[in-house]
Amino acid sequence: MAGEKSTALGQGAPGLLRGLALPAWLCGLAFAAALLAVFQYALRAHVPGELEPGGFTLQNFVAQAHPLYIGVFWDTLLLCAGTAILSLLAGYPLAWAILRTRSRLARSMILAIVITPLFLGEIVRTYGWIVVLGNSGFLNAALAWLGLGRAEMLFTTGGVLAALVHVTLPIVVIMLAAGLAHIEPELERAAQSLGATPARGFFTVTLPLSLPGILAAGTTAFAWTFSAFATPQLVGGGKVNMISNLVYQLGFASFNFPFAAALAVSGLALTAVSLAALSLVTRRVEQRL
């Protein structure tokens, strides 16, 4: 489909597209050059006390086999998967409500609440979470008022997870809504007319048909979270570390640019592998639909 569309566009406006080709190539070259710079740093030795790296080495990748780094990679993967799953669970009913509600007011309100975080910067949102999760923050004040005591939430994996879900939710809701919009409402009515309870209709018709949208949104949330930096940095407070935080510490606290670059390359590779696996699953599902 996408291929056909772009050919049609190409035939429709060849002059315009040809005119845009040069800037597009220049941008592409700039991006590729930046990435190449990271790659070449990753393959060079760190000289303590020097910003300029030394000669060729694979040591930066070998050193990552240390349990400390493997642990951070593993935590990052878990946080990404957790974020994707939780934002899907939270986003699915919201996307559904946006599509199926008859009240225009309700639709606008849900959209406003879900989309607004997109327009706040990541830092602002993250500080918001610090206020909510902190020891004398909103949640703990509420718990204390209820007589349930206080809970440690800031600088915990759970707190980081909550903040990450908040960050990815708008994208997930928008992608899910786009996917769910393809499901005809008449299909649910047909299932009920055939004797299926609304729950049975949901699990046998609506949910299987939403799978492509769920996988696309989940994949995006996963990849999006992999590069999260400010949220784990501030809400995790150094106790919850993701790859990007490690890269930052090594690069800007220890000035070990080569090792930081190697970690970044490994993270990129891990993302690529995860995405490839997910896209394989997605293709399987789409073939069955």
Partner 1 sequence: MAVEALRLDGVTRRFGAVTALHGASLVVAPGEFVTLLGPSGCGKTTLLNLVAGFQTPDEGEIFLGGESVTRVPVWKRDIGMVFQSYALFPHMNVAENVAYGLRARGMPKVEAMGRVAEALRMVRLSGLEDRRPRQLSGGQQQRAALARALVIRPRILLLDEPFSALDRALRGGLQVEVREIQRAAGVATLFVTHDQHEALAMSDRIAVMSGGRIHQVGTPEEVYARPADRFVAGFVGDATVLRGRLRGLMGGTAGIEVGQAVLEADAAPLRGLSQGAPVDAFLRPETLSPGGPALLSGEVRSVVFQGGHVDVHLACAEAAGGRAVARLAPMLASGLAAGSVLELAGPSRCAAFPAEEPA
Of 170, 132, 159, 168, give the one whose Cα is nearest residue 233: 159
CB of 188 to partner 1, least distance (A): 9
The DSSP letter of residue 135 is T
Q: Considering only residues 198 through 217, tell me which ones interact with partner 1, judged by CB under 8 A.
A: 198, 200, 204-205, 208-209
Query: Among candidates 79, 56, 83, 76, which has minimal Cα distance to 267?
Result: 76
Site membership for partner 1, residue 191 (CB under 8 A): yes
Whichever of 5 and 288 has its CB closer to partner 1, that residue is: 288
**Does residue 192 touch partner 1 according to CB under 8 A?**
yes
Is 88 or 205 the residue whose CB approaches partner 1 more closely?
Answer: 205
**Binding-site member from 147, 186, 253, 276 for partner 1 (CB under 8 A):** 186
100 lies in the binding site for partner 1 (CB under 8 A): no
5-30 CB burial, b ≥16 within 10 A, e <16: eeeeeeeeeeeeeeeeeeeeeeeeee
Nearer CB in complex with partner 1: 92/129:
92
189 binds partner 1 (CB under 8 A): yes
Q: Are 91 and 176 in contact (CB under 8 A)?
A: yes
Handedness of CA 246, 251, 255, 261 (dihedral sign): positive
Residues in binding contact with partner 1, number by CB under 8 A:
20
Q: Does 239 bind partner 1 (CB under 8 A)?
A: no
Interaction of residue 281 with partner 1, rule CB under 8 A: no
- Residues pairing with 264 in the sheet: none
Query: What's the closest the beta carbon of residue 184 comes to partner 1, in angstroms?
Result: 6
Q: Does 283 bind partner 1 (CB under 8 A)?
A: no
Concatenate the DSSP letters of all residues of 63-122 into one string. Answer: GGGSHHHHHHHHHHHHHHHHHHHHHHHHHHHHHHHHHH-S-HHHHHHHHHHHHHHHHS-H
Choose, by CB under 8 A, the member of 111, 196, 223, 268 that binds partner 1. 196
Residue 195 interacts with partner 1 (CB under 8 A): yes or no = yes
Contacts of 75 (CB under 8 A, 6+ apart): 157, 240, 241, 242
- Among 187, 269, 272, 277, contact with partner 1 (rule: CB under 8 A): 187
Of 22 and 289, which has the nearer Cβ to partner 1?
289
CA 285 to CA 180: how far, in whole Å? 15
Between residues 101 and 274, which has the closer beta carbon with respect to partner 1?
Answer: 101
Q: Does 106 bind partner 1 (CB under 8 A)?
A: no
Q: Cα separations (Å) of 82 from 47, 110, 118, 158? A: 38, 23, 20, 10
What radius of gyration, in Å, describes the C-alpha atoms of the chain?
23
CB of 189 to partner 1, least distance (A): 6
The verdict on 184 binding partner 1 (CB under 8 A) reads yes
Query: From CA 244, how far away is CA 260, in angstroms rounded?
Result: 9
List contacts with partner 1 (CB under 8 A): 184, 186-187, 189-198, 200, 204-205, 208-209, 288-289
